[in-house]
Each structure stands twice: as structure tokens, then as C-alpha cells.
Amino acid sequence: MPHQFHPTTLREYDIRGIIGETLGEGDAYAIGRGFGTRVARAGGSRVAVGYDGRLSSPALEEALVRGLNESGIHVLRIGLGPTPMLYYAEAVLDVDGGIQITGSHNPANYNGFKMVLHHGPFFGPDIQSLGTMAASGDWVDGSAGSETVEIADRYAARLVEGFEGKAFRIGWDAGNGAAGPIVEKLVRLLPGEHYTLFTEVDGTFPNHHPDPTEEKNLTDLRALVAEKGLDFGVAFDGDGDRIGAIDGEGRIIWGDQLLAIFAEPVLRAVPGATIIADVKASQALFDRVAQLGGTPLMWKTGHSLIKSKMRETGSPLAGEMSGHIFFKHEYYGFDDALYAAVRLIRAASDLGKSVTELRGEMPPMVNTPELRFQVDESRKFAVIEEVLARLRESGAQVDATDGARVNTPDGWWLLRASNTQDVLVARAEARDEAGLDRLMAQIDEQLALSGLQRGAQAGH
């Protein structure tokens, strides 16, 4: 029976929607049928399925499993847990793919699906193919069952495999997201003193929103680190694939700064390796990787795009400004915030410095957070093309890897179209406030020339 998805739900990296409005159990069933058909036609027969702590997740999981079963796919149900636990299950169990039901860091009424096929990311045209197949009912028929697989303890043990780090005093904020129960297991396996916040899974997110890249969501962690005099603190998003961190003084360690810390021990182990970061990362990171003898590579934003580029280049480490950190070095190459937290402990141990010292050594840069401007979906990519055309004509120094990133004597600015929302994303970084003002004026000028203004700033 054919099925039509809401036009907004099939995104570049995943499937996402508002429960009861743009996403429901019928969609979950159709995703199961479509993904199951893809697996079956490639000769596979087994898929792992997990889900996050949102109130809508169990019902979506039931419908998804039914869709997979009716396409002849046997399901290994790993239950409630963070997205990286599903990625881990897909990597180590005898399966042909995996699906995590998760709304990630979106508001509580959202949910969605992240998928892996044959140990590789499933995105872009793959996700669009599910819509095409559903519209024509192009699904294989079959029947299969499911089994429950307990993997949480095995996953927690894998996070600390080979761990030789020192004992630190650390605060952990799970934000009532799906990572909470694993955090509780993990801290029992680590040396040191650990204080946890909000590790009970609660899909209404009663304490704060689970997005550690927004400063306001780190208030409780900062208070804990200050009150207990801890060495540092880490925080996780709703499904545990993005990390936030603060040092002992409460200063935020942004995604690109974490990558700069991780790069040093990794490049000692793998000299000259390619370290990848997205176009929103600081120039200071790319300079630091080069200084350490590595090969810095700027790439497009998006976890699926980064994973694909890592495979292509053999990169042992990559990351995004948004807190997705990918370790292929001694791990599987997927984004896992819990593993990144363990590697932060290891990096501080290996480098013989506190996390506060490592943060303090970073060059002072004046930069904006990620700025978002509402733009009509039909215009967002066109605006970027217009900006690029004007910049090239003016002889500006432009990197067009993902949008327009422009280098000037003051620093750099970026304007790109979001792949997941109807917004343009901007960021700028300079050595001083006056330079930053000049960079922002250039962004304003380009927006104005395309009939937009920065005043229409959008939230997440």
C-alpha cells in the first residue's frame, strides 16, 4: 500500500518531524518497509533497532519493527539508549544495518530516525529513495521476527577498553537524554571522582534542553563544577552523539577546541594524518593541526558527510563545531560523545596537563556563535550562489566547500545554507572586536544585496 511522507521530513542526514503533525507511526512503518527492502535486495536479513527517551519513541519503534518484519527482516532490538550505542551494535553484531529512533536535540514533540547500512552512513539520495519507494509501494514482502539484545554493559565496557588515563574529578550532565543510564555505568568504570546530573531519562526534558552547544544549557554543569571545585565538566545532547565541555573555570570548550586537544595525542600516534573539521571551525584549529604535523582538511557540515570524507581520506579523527566528534583512531569512526568524553580524560592524561591548562593555552579569538537567519526554503541555496558569484567577481579569497567562507586580513566569515532547516547559517571570527564588526558588516552587505537582512534571526 503506497505511503506519502510529509514533504519536510526526509532530510539530508536523517528523517525528522513533529509527532502528530508531520511524523507518525504510519511513517515509521513505511521506513521499516523501505529500509528493509533495501537490506533484502542487497542480500541482507538482519537489522538492529534502538530508540531514545522521547515519549513517542516506543510507539514508533513498534511500527518500525513491524515494517522491517513484513519485509522479511529479523530485528535485533537493543532498546532505549543513545544513538552511538546503536552505531556500536551495528558495528559489532551480525547485522546488515541499524536504525535509531531519535529526535536528537530538537524540542520534546519532535522525533526522527538515523540509519546505517552495511557499516556506512545512509543519507542524501538513500533517504530520498525511501520516499520514492513508499510513494509507489515498491517494497518486498516477507515475514520475520525480532529478539531483544542487551548491549548496554558491553557498550559501556568498550568505551573504556584500553583506558590508562589518570583520575580526575569530573561533572557529567546528561540533560535527561538517552545517554543518562550509560553515563551512570561509565563513571563506575572510570578512576577518579564523578558527579552526575539529570541521568534519569525523561522525554519532557524538565531541567534544561539537551543541547550542549547552547550556553544557557550548561548553567547547571557550571554550577556543579564551581561548587565542587571539579577539574572539568562534560554534557551530552538528547541522543548522546554530541558533546559539550567546560574547564575547571567554567569556560566553554567548543567543538573545534576539543578537536585541537584531541589532535595532539592522535597525531603522536599517527604522524601526518588528515584531521577533518567542518567549515564552521576556527582557523586556529586548522593552524594547530598543521603545527602538530598533521594535514588539516576543511569539509562540509553534517555528520554523514564527515563520516564519508573520513572513509575516503583514511582520517583517524574528525569533528564539527556542533560537538559531533568522530574517532577512527582506536574506535569505529562514528560520532560518540561518551567516547569523546573518555578521550578527553585520556588526552589530559597523555599531555600531562589539566583540561583548564589546555583550554587556557588556546589563542584568544573573538567570534560569533552560530547565527541563523530565516529564509524561504526555495531561496536558501540560490542566495549562497548569488553571494559566491559576487565574491568571485570582487576577487575575494573564498573557500566554497560548503557555502562561502571568506578570508580577510581581519579573520574570516562564513555564510552557508542549512541542510536541515529553512535557515542560512553565518559565523565570523577575528582577532579583535573591531575586526569582528568589519566582518559582520560584510555579511550584512551580502545579505542585503540578496534582499535579506540579518535582523530576521531564527532560533533552533
| Active-site residue list | 104
Single-letter amino acid code for the residue at 275:
I
Evaluate whether 256 touches 281 at the Cβ level (below 8 Å): yes
3-state secondary structure 402-423: CCEEEEECCEEEEEEECCCCCE
DSSP string, 244-296: EEEETT--EE-HHHHHHHHHHHHHHHSTT-EEEEETTS-HHHHHHHHHTT-EE
Euclidean distance between CA atoms 213 and 423, whole angstroms: 18
| Residue 328, all three cell numbers | 577512527
Handedness of CA 350, 355, 357, 360 (dihedral sign): positive
| Residue 424, all three cell numbers | 542560512
| Listed residue (13, 96, 1) closest to 302, CA to CA | 13
The runs of H, that is alpha helices, within 124-194 are 125-136, 152-159, 180-189
Euclidean distance between CA atoms 3 and 157, whole angstroms: 41
| Listed residue (391, 394, 400, 456) closest to 423, CA to CA | 456
Single-letter amino acid code for the residue at 385:
E
Q: How many CA atoms lie within 13 A of 19 on its CB side?
A: 20
